[in-house]
Chains A and B, each alone.
Chain A
Amino acid sequence: MNMDWIWGLVGGLMIGSAAALYLLVNGRIMGASGILGGLVDGSGRETAAERGAFIAGLVAIPALAAPFWGTADTHITGNFVVIVAAGLLVGIGTRLANGCTSGHGVCGISRLSLRGMVATVFYLLAGGIVMVLFRHILGVI
């Protein structure tokens, strides 16, 4: 039997606990695109050290844990046109919408934010349509 859902639940609880820690201790909303985006465009200059420390943990701990986890592989496509297009879309989209899966999905829905719920509906719908179009009709991904 496929036990992935248990790991999904355990990992999800860890993600939510991380967001809870960041809110209750640091007083910040844990949104990955916002934390990085504020460093990239300079809008988060006053909190740069805190953002940098968060990203350092986000990069370093999986790097240390991956060898013990065994199956640490993103299985990302080898098609670099798709990768660049996807990266640009994610970068532009998350900054326009002011949030991604962590900010709108986890932190927004859990406080019943209308913006978080609307954003989540639209990015899930768009992702689903892309799968139909690019996987089942065009066969690109």
Chain B
Amino acid sequence: MRNLFAFLSGGLFGAGLLVSGMVNTQKVQGWLDVFGDWDPTLAFVLGGAILPMAIAWRVAARRRFSALNTPMPPAPDPRLGHNLVIGSVLFGMGWGLAGLCPGPAMASISFGGAGGIVFLLAMMAGMLAAPTVRSRIDRLAAA
């Protein structure tokens, strides 16, 4: 049951990424390119996505367990920390360079060609390298 609903959530997420244009690197780069030919589509994507999720959080706040009896996620951590900022800057640089973020990179794998596959592999390599990078940054920050 868990896996079925995980599959359905992933599928609906993927379909939404396809319909919204998030899998199109030109639209993503057009949105980030504020000083060029700016494309506002992604503001509608983000706004449209936040709406149902804001309702879902309100429902979740009144429950301790999900429908499949998993404890609801804890309240968000209020601490910011340097890794949040450094990581987000690095992610934003990569997102701008290629126009793909992790969800669309997976959703587009069937039609994204060699470039899409190489991006996904490089992203997974980066995920493997992240703990090493994190400990180096933490050591620098502590020094």
By a beta-carbon cutoff of 8 Å, the part of chain A in contact with chain B is 4-30, 32-33, 36-37, 40-41, 49-63, 65-66, 69, 71-78, 80, 82-98, 100-102, 104-111, 113-116, 118-120, 122-132, 134-136, 141
Q: A62-B108, A130-B32, A131-B36 are in contact. Are A21 and B5 (CB under 8 A)?
A: yes
Cβ of A26 and Cβ of B9 under 8 Å apart? yes
Question: Considering the chains assembled together, what is the distance between the CA atoms of A18 and B42 in angstroms?
Answer: 17
Chain B contact residues (Cβ within 8 angstroms of A): what range?
Answer: 35 or more
A11 in contact with B13 (CB, 8 Å) = no
B23 contacts which chain A residues (CB < 8 A)? 62, 72, 74
Cα–Cα, bound, A4→B46 (Å): 14
Q: Which B residues are closer than 8 A to A by beta carbons? A: 2-27, 29, 32-36, 39-57, 59-60, 65-73, 76-80, 83-113, 115-116, 118-131, 133-134, 137
Report whether A19 and B53 are in contact in the complex, using a CB–CB cutoff of 8 Å: yes
7 chain-A/chain-B pairs, Cβ below 8 angstroms: A7-B19, A8-B43, A16-B56, A21-B8, A26-B9, A50-B3, A75-B24
Q: How far is the CB of A48 from chain B (nearest CB, A)?
A: 11
The answer, among B9, B19, B55, B83, for a CB contact under 8 Å with A10, is: B19
Question: With the chains together, A111 CA to B142 CA distance in Å?
Answer: 31
Chain A: minimal CB distance from B29 (Å): 6
Given A11-B17, A90-B126, A131-B32: A123 touches B12 (CB 8 Å cut-off): no
What is the bound-complex CA distance between A95 and B137, given in angstroms?
A: 13
If A66-B18, A75-B25, A93-B94 touch, does A12 touch B65 (CB 8 Å cutoff)? no
Cβ distance B19 to chain A, nearest Cβ, rounded Å: 4
Whether the Cβ atoms of A110 and B122 lie closer than 8 Å is no
Please tell me if the beta carbons of B87 and A88 are within 8 angstroms of each other in the complex. no
B130 CB contact (under 8 Å) in A72, A96, A123, A125: A96
How far in angstroms is the closest Cβ of chain A from B129?
6
Q: How far is the CB of A32 from chain B (nearest CB, A)?
A: 4
Measured CB to CB, the closest approach of chain A to B28, in angstroms, equals 8
